[in-house]
Structure 1
Amino acid sequence: MATFVVLLVLLSALLHASWNAFLHLSGDRLWLLGMMSIPYLVVSAIGVMVLPAPLPASWPYIAASVVLEFAYCITLIRAYRSGDFGQIYPIARGLSPMLVFVGALVFAHEALKPLAATGVALVSVGIMSLAFRRGMRFSGESVPYALLTGFFIASYSVVDGLGARLAGNSLSYIMWVYLLWNIPQFVMVWHLRGGRQQFFASKNEVAKGMLAGLIALTAYCLVIEAFRYLPIATVSALRELSSIFAVLIGWLFMKEKLTARHLIACALVTGGAVLIRL
């Protein structure tokens, strides 16, 4: 079972890097975020009707997750506004495994074995190193917002890891989070982007937004299920292998350079993942 769950988390990592690439390439990232909300709303509305309600103990976690997910989306958009995909994504994703490790230790009392803890550290260092290169320049706001994004990622990961275990049904838990988070997000974007006439102006872009939304919600549903079987810090660190996929996507589709430094960083992250699995 553990090996199968790890494979699900790695699939989630690939899907997560893919929807972030959609977001980065979008000419209007706020609009894309609103468009991505539509699949979330449709799927979650069906989910809350057919699945059993989460147990009462999980509702404070659902409320906290809604706030943290919304904040995460806003800070991610601000970070992408002025930073490169290959820089911002690794900073945000690389910070979170170590923060999750601390959060899981404090709030879930999950202490990883030394080998696994070393693996988490290697994953974080390897991912963060992907963002830095000689002669690079960051805008005044890109790094602070990327770091803040990493904080929100770690926060909702710990909250959801605990909440999903208390809910009785992990999919029911995340369906309620998706529904309550995306209603205000969609309404906000709809209002800011001029309503129906402008919101659905381009069929091609609408299709891309819908696809990105389906990819994103699938990716995190896999993570929520994994939280039931593996320690929160382990799932978080393995999920952040998405940064390796992000580098490859940037190289293959965005003409971003792939250097020896990237390969060394990828080796560190892969080594860390192996230690975690062992």
Structure 2
Amino acid sequence: MVVEPLIVGLLLAAALMHATWNAILKSDQSDRLATFGVIMTTGTVMGVCVVPFVPMIEPGAWKFLIASVLIHVLYYTFLLKAYSYGDLSHTYPIARGLGPLLVALVSGRFIGEELRTQDIVGVFLLSFGLVALAMPLRNVVPRPGARHGLATLFAVLTGVTIAAYIIADGMGVRTAGPTFEHRISYIAWLCVLEGPWLLVLAFILRPDTVWGHLKRTWYRGVIGGVIANVGYGIAIYALVLGPMAHVAALRETSVLFGALIGTLLLGEPFGGRRVAAAAVIVGGLVLMNGPSVF
């Protein structure tokens, strides 16, 4: 099953949105936890505005919704740790790239979605390209405080949680109900339940500094929150329309956008090897989402 061109276009837009809000979060040098909290709280407000106008999701979808919320809590924890120890152009490709690889590996056994031969080849190309993209560049002085090993570890853990919530949300939105409105309801309830917990945590940990940070930079989190929640809403809805591994892989073209944003806007190095790795990644993604050739 090949994803329709319109969905491909929407997922590419979602990928750019994801890379953009991650860059907004990574570039915050004063209080990243508080900014992340505003991003998530913005999603809560958006969800609350939608919930009254859509039907309730089917009872069978709630277990997936709750599982997704719990997995997302781990995801946020690992993501913040990864960004605190490493560059965006290093940690982001690992975290985002592992997701579709793991989904592809388990989709046949646990979800019943079988891969074509070219999908398997695409997965290997994607894996090879991500390893090359994530390896540290030679003759590059790490930024002060960077710890490559810990950054890699937390990026890998982030990738594992990404695969887990993709599967949970894929199963959840497919069981949410038969109509478009039911699927929108699932997305809205996910935004509501994820809630302002990170912002609450920031206030608990740093009550004296969070208010000042928010007064100066609240708009960054709000902009990031709108981008993040619209982008993930597109991705969740696409999980109804195509195989999870394909949808996940297309969305993770964000690794390329993330590496480019890290290089062009945040001053992080890229290098010729990463250019070649990016081309291999694109080849793998195209192969996975193209018509059958084998």
Q: Aligned-residue CA RMSD in angstroms?
A: 1.8
- Of 12, 20, 33, which aligns to 1:18? 20
Residue 145 of structure 1: aligned partner: 154
SS in 1 for 2:242: coil
**Paired amino acid for 2:63:** P
Offset at residue 203 of structure 1 (A): 4.2
Is 1:176 aligned to residue 178 of structure 2?
A: no
1-structure distance, mates of 2:224, 2:17: 9
SS in 2 for 1:257: coil
Offset at residue 15 of structure 1 (A): 0.6
Residue 86 of structure 2: aligned partner: 83
1-structure distance, mates of 2:52, 2:27: 35
Is 1:155 aligned to residue 164 of structure 2?
A: yes
**Paired amino acid for 2:173:** A
Q: Does the CA contact (< 8 Å) of 1:95 and 1:128 recur in 2?
A: no
Q: Does the CA contact (< 8 Å) of 2:41 and 2:196 recur in 1?
A: no
Q: Does the CA contact (< 8 Å) of 1:34 and 1:190 recur in 2?
A: no
Q: How many positions carry a matched residue from both structures?
A: 277
Q: Does the CA contact (< 8 Å) of 2:56 and 2:185 recur in 1?
A: yes
2-structure distance, mates of 1:64, 1:13: 23
2-structure distance, mates of 1:188, 1:251: 31
| 1:190-269 equivalences in 2 (<5 Å) | 190-194=203-207, 198-199=210-211, 201-269=213-281
**Paired amino acid for 2:172:** G
Q: Does the CA contact (< 8 Å) of 2:37 and 2:196 recur in 1?
A: no
Once superposed, which parts of structure 1, at least 4 consecutive aligned residues long, lie more than 6 Å away? none
- Write out per-residue CA displacement over residues 189-216 of structure 1, whole angstroms, 9 at most, x where no aligned residue: 2322317x84354545111111011111
Q: Does the CA contact (< 8 Å) of 1:171 and 1:224 recur in 2?
A: no
**Paired amino acid for 2:158:** T
Q: Does the CA contact (< 8 Å) of 1:54 and 1:173 recur in 2?
A: yes
| 1:43-122 equivalences in 2 (<5 Å) | 43-122=46-125
Residue 11 of structure 2: aligned partner: 9
**Paired amino acid for 2:228:** A
Q: Does the CA contact (< 8 Å) of 1:31 and 1:193 recur in 2?
A: no
2-structure distance, mates of 1:253, 1:5: 28
1-structure distance, mates of 2:155, 2:23: 15
Q: Does the CA contact (< 8 Å) of 2:34 and 2:198 recur in 1?
A: no
1-structure distance, mates of 2:247, 2:195: 24
Instruction: Tell me: CA distance 1:193–1:36, structure 2 relative to 1, closer, same or farther (3 Å).
Output: farther
SS in 2 for 1:130: helix
SS in 2 for 1:53: coil
What TM-score results when the alignment is normalised by the length of structure 1?
0.94
**Paired amino acid for 2:13:** L
2-structure distance, mates of 1:109, 1:49: 34
**Paired amino acid for 2:112:** H
Offset at residue 142 of structure 1 (A): 1.5
Is 1:34 aligned to residue 43 of structure 2?
A: no
Gaps of at least 5 residues in structure 2 are none
SS in 2 for 1:96: helix
2-structure distance, mates of 1:51, 1:190: 33
SS in 2 for 1:228: helix
- Write out per-residue CA displacement over residues 158-207 of structure 1, whole angstroms, 9 at most, x where no aligned residue: 11111110001222112111111124333222322317x84354545111
Instruction: Tell me: CA distance 1:75–1:231, structure 2 relative to 1, closer, same or farther (3 Å).
Output: same
- Write out per-residue CA displacement over residues 11-70 of structure 1, whole angstroms, 9 at most, x where no aligned residue: 111110111111111121111111112211111111221111111111100010000111
Q: Give identity over the alignment, percent.
A: 36
SS in 1 for 2:163: helix
Q: Does the CA contact (< 8 Å) of 2:40 and 2:194 recur in 1?
A: no
SS in 1 for 2:55: coil
Gaps of at least 5 residues in structure 1 are none
**Higher mean displacement: 239-248 or 114-123:** 114-123
What TM-score results when the alignment is normalised by the length of structure 2?
0.89
Is 1:126 aligned to residue 129 of structure 2?
A: yes
Q: Does the CA contact (< 8 Å) of 2:79 and 2:155 recur in 1?
A: yes
**Higher mean displacement: 140-149 or 51-60:** 140-149
Q: Does the CA contact (< 8 Å) of 2:92 and 2:259 recur in 1?
A: no
Q: Does the CA contact (< 8 Å) of 1:116 and 1:275 recur in 2?
A: yes
**Paired amino acid for 2:286:** V
Instruction: Tell me: CA distance 1:133–1:185, structure 2 relative to 1, closer, same or farther (3 Å).
Output: closer
